[in-house]
């Protein structure tokens, strides 16, 4: 028996079983799940799959980096994926470090810290003690005024600033790595960040009992 995506084998709403009036069709086939894994030491692995009509899908089997957007700053950076921390559908996907759409992951904050420093002239994520002062490059008066004007209007949530302090940011995967072969997503902010923070805290509480 192959994997099929048809509805001929399903029962009616009344519970009756419809008679099979035709065989399976090629266009109804399904394939095994990709189960894209987070790779740390191994190289990323993406396999091309030929589909109906000669179209191609790209089956990512191992990935370690992706493109992540910071919505409130309207900027996207390539960042390293560090960990899979939450999945609403199945805890096994967290345990096995499987990358699927809508998984909550932790990514490296460095590219976004560098962008913030370059755009606003403000270094975020620096802890109060034990961090040496960074030598500032000489800037022209025009650049200094431009950065000061930008910095005057900047807003950064406390939750997000705390994450920058740890060097890790929570992000949500918005692409389907097993279909397009890429990892894309966005940094969690606002109500969505609060929601998932509560969920993860609740999960930690259950694990501790």
User: Parallel, antiparallel, or unpaired for β 65-70 and 184-187?
Assistant: parallel
Please write the tens of the pLDDT for every residue from 61-120. Answer: 999 999 999 999 999 999 999 999 999 999 999 999 999 999 999 999 999 999 988 888
Nearest residue to 78 (alpha-carbon basis) of 119, 115, 38, 48: 115
Contact between 102 and 171 (Cβ < 8 Å): no
Q: Quote the CA–CA distance of 160 and 15 in Å, as a whole number.
A: 51
Q: Quote the CA–CA distance of 89 and 202 in Å, as a whole number.
A: 15
CB-based burial of residue 21 (10 Å sphere; 0-12 exposed, 13-18 middle, 19+ buried)? exposed
Three-state secondary structure readout of 93-127: HHHCCECCCCCEEEEECHHHHHHHHHHHCCCCCCC
Q: What is the pLDDT along the chain (209 residues), one digit of tens a residue?
A: 689 999 999 999 999 999 999 999 999 999 999 999 998 777 999 999 999 999 999 999 999 999 999 999 999 999 999 999 999 999 999 999 999 999 999 999 999 999 988 888 888 876 544 444 555 667 777 888 878 877 777 788 888 889 999 999 999 999 999 999 999 999 999 999 999 999 998 887 777 66
**Cβ neighbours around 153 below 10 Å, total:** 7
* pTM metric for this prediction: 0.85
């Amino acid at each position: 028996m192959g994997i099929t995506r048809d509805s001929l084998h399903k029962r009616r709403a009344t519970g009756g079983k419809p008679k099979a009036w035709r065989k399976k069709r090629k266009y109804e086939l399904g394939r095994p799940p990709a189960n894209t894994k987070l790779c740390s030491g191994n190289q990323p692995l993406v396999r091309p799959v030929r589909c109906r009509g000669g179209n191609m899908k790209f089956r990512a089997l191992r990935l370690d980096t992706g493109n992540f957007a910071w919505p409130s700053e309207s900027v996207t950076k390539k960042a390293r994926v560090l960990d899979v921390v939450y999945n609403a559908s199945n805890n096994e996907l967290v345990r096995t470090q499987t990358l699927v759409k809508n998984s909550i992951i932790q990514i490296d904050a460095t590219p976004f810290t560098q962008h913030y420093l370059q755009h606003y002239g403000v270094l975020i994520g620096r802890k109060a003690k034990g961090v040496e002062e960074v030598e500032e490059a000489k800037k022209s008066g025009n650049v200094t005024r431009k950065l000061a004007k930008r910095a005057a209007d900047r807003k950064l949530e406390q939750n997000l600033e705390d994450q920058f302090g740890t060097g890790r940011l929570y992000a949500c995967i918005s692409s389907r790595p097993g279909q397009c072969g890429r990892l894309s997503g966005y940094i969690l902010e606002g109500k969505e960040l609060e929601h998932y923070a509560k969920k993860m805290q609740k999960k930690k509480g259950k694990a501790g009992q």
